[in-house]
């Protein structure tokens, strides 16, 4: 395992983390009062799922290749449904707040439950299952190191996303919830189109 192994998997991590970065940004926009612990939890959740999915994909390639290929066609649909549901809910909350005259109220923030965060983690990482095919030639230790690199890169990128969103969310006040929800819906549609087009 030389420089090329590390470089390739760090780049892979950056590529995989982009959807999670956008959702982290949306979360930061929606809750500009977020505490440091919550920010770390968001980044860690995305990191865990972005590492877990390629490893599950790697396991599937080595055990259930045919069944995995049959399941792969449902991945874009799952991401679309999950992110559209969470984003749509957030969007409706923001619109309701604006209709109630709270659009410029800095106290209006969207709080995510742990379940919603896990759903976001699954939705943004489920397409990473197919990465199992790209790392199929790795032995188990190489696969574990590859997913650890992906997790570390994702954590840093998502933490940055939350920080950026939080900074801009404070200035947008209640409108940030609408923007955050819209981003989630757009990411869901993007993952769906990307998955269907290939």
Angle between helix axes 3-30 and 175-197 (nearest 10 degrees) is 140
Q: Is the pLDDT score of 106 beyond 70?
A: no
pLDDT, one tens digit per residue, over 167-184 is 876 655 556 667 767 777
The answer for 34, left when phi > 0, alpha when psi is -120 to 50, beta otherwise, is beta
Higher-pLDDT residue of 129, 122: 122
Helix (H, G, I), strand (E, B) or coil at 88: helix
Query: By CB neighbour count within 10 A (0-12 exposed, 13-18 middle, 19+ buried), where does 163 fall?
Result: middle
Predicted pLDDT of residue 41: 94
- pLDDT averaged over every residue in the chain: 80
Half-sphere exposure (Cβ direction) of 148: Cα atoms closer than 13 Å = 8
Rounded to an integer, the average pLDDT of 134-156 is 90
């Amino acid at each position: 395992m030389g420089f090329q192994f590390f470089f390739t998997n760090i780049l892979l991590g950056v590529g995989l983390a982009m959807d999670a970065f956008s959702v982290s940004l949306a979360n930061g926009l929606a809750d500009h009062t977020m505490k440091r612990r919550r920010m770390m939890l968001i980044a860690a959740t995305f990191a865990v799922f972005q590492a877990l999915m390629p490893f599950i994909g790697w396991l599937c390639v080595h055990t259930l290749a045919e069944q995995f290929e049959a399941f792969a066609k449902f991945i874009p649909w799952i991401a679309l449904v999950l992110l559209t549901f969470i984003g749509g809910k957030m969007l409706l909350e923001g619109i309701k707040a604006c209709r109630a005259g709270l659009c410029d109220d800095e106290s209006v923030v969207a709080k995510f439950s742990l379940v919603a965060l896990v759903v976001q983690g699954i939705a943004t990482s489920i397409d990473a299952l197919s990465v199992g095919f790209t790392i199929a030639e790795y032995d188990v230790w190489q696969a574990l190191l590859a997913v650890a690199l992906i997790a570390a890169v994702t954590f840093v990128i998502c933490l940055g996303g939350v920080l950026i969103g939080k900074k801009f969310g404070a200035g947008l006040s209640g409108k940030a919830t609408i923007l955050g929800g819209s981003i989630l819906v757009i990411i869901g549609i993007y993952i769906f189109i990307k998955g269907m087009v290939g």
